[in-house]
Amino acid sequence: MNTPATTPTPPGANRPGGPPVRIGALAPLTRPGWAEAGQHLLAGLELGIREVNESGGVGGRPLELVVRDTAADPGRAEAAVDELAAMGVAALVGEYHSVVARAAAARADALRVPFLCSSAVLDELTAQPTPWVARLAPAQSHGWRAYADFLLGAGRSRVAVAAEPTVYWQSGTRILRDHLTPRGATVIELDMRELTPAALCDALVAQRATAVLLLTGHPEPAVPVVKAVRQDPRLAGILMGAPAGQPEFADWAALLGEAGAGVPFLRYLPDRLTPLGVRIERALGERLAAAPSFVAFEGYDAIAVLAEAARSHGTDRSSMAEAWSSVTVEGTRGRIRFCRTPGIGVWQWAWPPVQVVDRDPSRPDRFRVLHTA
């Protein structure tokens, strides 16, 4: 998707005039990207743009979203940042995949374009501290430690990670090991490049694993692995988990049905949305014709932050970046403000709400909150 995405202002609304303030948006909208997550992100971004424009825009000027599909490709994201910067966007927003967001953040930093990363969690989003990048999603170390605490509370002390060798999955494995091992648990690494689903089941039995975490892509190989584990009577008592959130989306339920229930994952929502969040949840549901994921809320909140930054500090790039240190916004999931966090090189919302959730085995269309950080 490579065209500006704008939403018409309804009749009678407070119509902003003047030249638009362009916001460049990055999202995975085609495979091999996680396209369903990208569509939820885009729905939140577009709803945020529409509401800002209906309320008069920024300084009387409308916001205009210019969307680029990253397709989970870091090189494509870098090229998109170059193109959007040349077009004169005031800021960049979005991206779901951590490795892609890291490439986009590095390029935005080099070009001095403010980038508000909505959804990627990799701790080292940039190689060095930068004033140009801020992030709404929690750092991976924060969320995955909460997931490790859930495993300990559930009595799962022999935790296998069925992982693919990417920076994101390797980072997650390291966080789990560092948190679980000092507390008496064992982390068993299983390389999904070398194991078929059947061979993975054999390895889980041999290792006496009490939990297996799917640190893999979706739908391949995650879906075949879930089916194999569910069908193996030797593994009837094992807990399957997916910290990265694969079960959040409808595609998971459509492909796996009841087999996809009872697989805990991380979700960045509070136990109770703010009043704004309740209203936006309804609007996003209508827009998506489905229950909105936490990624859709992240998209909406990101636009709310950028709009407030532009109103309070101006729309030139330096002013937008200067706003990270002082902007405060009531978002759908709580009050958003940014700070410098040890070990994190970008301006960080510390911290968004974190839950461990699964699909209820008795009703796979309903989610159960198992643990709150």
Q: Which residue has the higher pLDDT, 263 or 7?
A: 263
176-235 pLDDT, tens digit each: 999 999 999 999 999 999 999 999 999 999 999 999 999 999 999 999 999 999 999 999
Q: What is the pLDDT of residue 10?
A: 45
Looking at residue 14, its pLDDT comes to 62
Q: Are 69 and 1 in contact (CB under 8 A)?
A: yes
pLDDT for 3: 44
E strands in 28-145: 63-69, 91-94, 115-117, 133-135
Average pLDDT over residues 76-100: 98
Q: What is the CA angle 150-261-157, rounded to 5?
A: 30
Instruction: Give residue-wise pLDDT tens across range 38-66.
Output: 999 999 999 999 999 999 999 999 999 99
Q: What is the pLDDT of residue 18?
A: 87
Q: pTM of the predicted model, to two decimals?
A: 0.94
- 307-364 pLDDT per residue, tens: 999 999 999 999 999 999 999 999 999 999 999 999 999 999 999 999 999 999 999 9
Looking at residue 13, its pLDDT comes to 47
Give the pLDDT of residue 177: 98
Give pLDDT tens digits for 138-171: 999 999 999 999 999 999 999 999 999 999 999 9
DSSP bridge partners of 67? 25
Pairing relationship of beta strands 4-5 and 63-69 according to DSSP bridges: antiparallel
Strand order in the sheet with 211-215: 186-191, 158-163, 211-215, 239-241
Burial of residue 289 (number of CB atoms within 10 Å: 0-12, 13-18, 19+) = exposed
What's the pLDDT score for residue 17? 78
Residue 293: is its pLDDT beyond 70? yes
Task: Look at residue 1 and tell me whether its pLDDT is greater than 60.
Answer: no
Mean pLDDT for the chain overall:
95
Confidence of residue 7 (pLDDT cuts 50, 70, 90): very low
Q: How far apart are the first and last CA of the chain?
A: 36
pLDDT at position 283 is: 98
Structure tokens at 341: 């966090």
- Give 234-288 pLDDT, tens digit per residue: 999 999 999 999 999 999 999 999 999 999 999 999 999 999 999 999 999 999 9
